[in-house]
Amino acid sequence: MNVERSDILQNALDSIELGMDDFELGEHKRIVSAVRNFYAGVLLLGKECLVRSVPGENGMHIISSRYTPFIDEGDSKLKYRPVGTKTIDIEEMKSRFRDFGLKWPESNINNLQRLRNNLEHFHAKESTSQMREIIKECFPIIENFFEILGLDPSREISDAWSTMLKEKEFFNDVQGKCIKSFASIEFPVELDFSNLKCEICESSLIYQADESNKYLSDVELKCKSCGEDYVAPHGFPRMVVDQLCGADDYNSVKGSGEGVIFDCNSCGEDTYVSTSDVNICFFCEESVGGECVRCGDGLGIENQSINNPSSCDYCDHMMSKDD
């Protein structure tokens, strides 16, 4: 039997979507059906991870439960072929992940497995809400498998994925990962990441695509909720500045010359923030300080001359008159 890898994936996605439809409907019978579908989906998605990890191989040679040795007539070597059509169960899948060098997700799937097996023969003794909890426990596994597959759940199973994100614990879990993606960046101030919003879907589940990037100005954002590459219209530094200072301050500085956001004299971006606590350009990290060489007044972004960074606007003006 030859297993098409795309069939496994498609069946996995269908099962998860059916499972989440049932999950959302919420009545007892539907939750029982959700357990079955969702479990089947998890199992299939895990199999797809294994199959994809060895490109070009026959899928059945990877996910079969039993193999028998034989001598190959062509090269007289000892080889193995699958016996029967039984494929691996969860326990076997765990060990096969290990043997294939794939990381097994940390989440707990045992409860779902036990529940699914009991439901084959008995009425569930668990209540509807207990069963929902057990299904929810396995949401992170789905996310992990998608990660291994390099696929985006918001694109592959978009409705099911939004149903999953409606569950607070899972949302927090995903949000925690998003925030962690910024860990290598040193922000000039402490940020409330929940204020950063995707402009397409309004979700705060935006993250840095390249977790190793250290520079605010190089951040490329993606959204876990809608799956889009999020391009902040004025760049990430400005996005951070806006959420930090609010649009009002920005408007006031544009209009009247007062406010806390300034054009940076060093890089020219309008990402320089000057408040009692913060004095830095979020784009180039320039921080204006020291004193004017002519009058000795303290220098800040407000009064530094753009032509002559070591003097104030007034002195630069006076000196240019002297020329």
Question: Contact residues for Zn ion (CB under 5 A)?
Answer: 198, 200-201, 203, 223, 225-226, 264, 266-267, 281, 283-284, 286, 292, 294-295, 312, 315
Question: Please, what is the minimum distance in Å from the beta carbon of residue 260 to Zn ion?
Answer: 15
Q: Give the nearer residue to Zn ion in terms of CB position, either 162 or 213.
A: 162
Question: Please, what is the minimum distance in Å from the beta carbon of residue 195 to Zn ion?
Answer: 15
Q: Give the nearer residue to Zn ion in terms of CB position, either 22 or 156.
A: 156
> Among all chains, which residue has been given the structure tokens 């539907």?
30
Q: How far apart are CA 134 and CA 129, in angstroms?
A: 9
Give the DSSP H/E element, type plus range, for residue 252. Answer: helix 236-256
Question: Please, what is the minimum distance in Å from the beta carbon of residue 278 to Zn ion?
Answer: 13
The 10 Å Cβ neighbour count of residue 67 is 12
Q: Give the nearer residue to Zn ion in terms of CB position, either 22 or 286.
A: 286
Q: Which residues contact 311 (CB under 8 A, 6 or more apart)?
A: 292, 293, 294, 295, 299, 305, 319
Question: Please, what is the minimum distance in Å from the beta carbon of residue 138 to Zn ion?
Answer: 24
26: left (phi over 0), alpha (psi -120 to 50) or beta: left
Q: What angle do CA 49, 53, 58 make, to 5 degrees?
A: 95
> Among all chains, which residue has been given the structure tokens 């959204």?
223
Q: Give the nearer residue to Zn ion in terms of CB position, either 202 or 211.
A: 202
Q: Give the nearer residue to Zn ion in terms of CB position, either 31 or 292.
A: 292
Q: How far apart are CA 240 and CA 285, in angstroms?
A: 13
Question: Please, what is the minimum distance in Å from the beta carbon of residue 19 to Zn ion?
Answer: 24
